[in-house]
Amino acid sequence: MSVHSRTEVRTRYAILAGASIVTLLPLVVVALVAFYKPGTPVSGVAVPHHPSVDAFAHAWQIGDFSQALRSSGIVSAAVVTIVTALSILAGYAFGTMQFRGSKALFYLMLVGMTIPFNVMIVPLYFDFQSLHLANSYLALILPESGIYLAFGIFWMRAYFVSVPRALIEAARIEGASSFRILWNILVPIGKPAILTLMMLTFLASWNEYLVPLVMVSNDNLQTVPLRLANFQGQYVTDVPSLAAASLIVAGPAILVYIFTQRTFFRGLLQGALK
């Protein structure tokens, strides 16, 4: 390896190491603070002399995060299922089939990616209220599914467009139906793209704050971002408990990312290359 190549490799690793430190440092600071005892005044960053998990127990009990985690789990699972299923079907139609007005319809659906959801949330609330659906799981699941569906269709269409046409035509010559081509051929080879879409949708739904804030007032339906905001308002001076609550809320999302990161990056790289 030449001197220029070694210098280039070292520079890349130095940039990656610096970016990793900048990214992980806030999480490390929050983790250190969370192991102080509840109510301990914290000034600066230091390793606690007597680490304790009391702040986690205090935040869990006082903040009632078990109910919020259950609500977020139900909503996120439903949103991921709806968005993934509809995105695969619509993306398959837009990416492999030619029908009258397909391009116009596709661009019309992409308008959903350009309109800020903030301007629609209040009228949407009154619509759900008139249908007696406000303050329910449907009031959370349906709007969030609509928010992320446009991107999901765009993402899956890009994957289906990249599939060689010869593969699809060969399957049709063998007598395979459109559904069989999708389910038995395209879905298995497209797992990285599909799993990446599922992960992005899950993270977006898990961290959604505006929809639960407007759509529900029942404490039993509050999701973790809304519950964390309420907890922060009540215990703003208890920094260790706030840090512990933040880790409780972020924990599931971090675990999902850790266990799916390889597939996630494969999906992103495939999308970038194609």
Q: What are phi and psi of 225, to 5 degrees?
A: -65, -40
What CATH number does the domain located at 53-273 have? 1.10.3720.10
Q: What's CA 95's distance to the chain center, in Å?
A: 24
**Tens of pLDDT, residues 10-48:** 888 888 888 878 877 888 888 888 888 887 777 766 777
Q: Are 210 and 134 in contact (CB under 8 A)?
A: no
For the chain (274 residues), the mean pLDDT of every run of 10, in chain order, is: 69 84 82 82 74 84 85 94 94 84 81 80 89 90 91 90 83 82 85 88 92 88 88 73 87 80 60 44
Output the pLDDT for position 266.
61
Place of tokens 């699972």: 77
Buried-exposed string 222-244: b where 16+ CB fall within 10 A, e elsewhere:
bbbbbbbeebeeebeebbbbbbb
Extents of the domains making up the chain: 53-273
The predicted structure's pLDDT at residue 265: 58
| pLDDT of res. 40 | 76
Q: Which pTM value belongs to this model?
A: 0.83
**Which among 152, 130, 149 has a CA at the least distance from the CA of 139?**
130
Place of tokens 């007696």: 132
Host H or E run for residue 145: helix 137-162
48, 32 contact by CB (below 8 A): yes
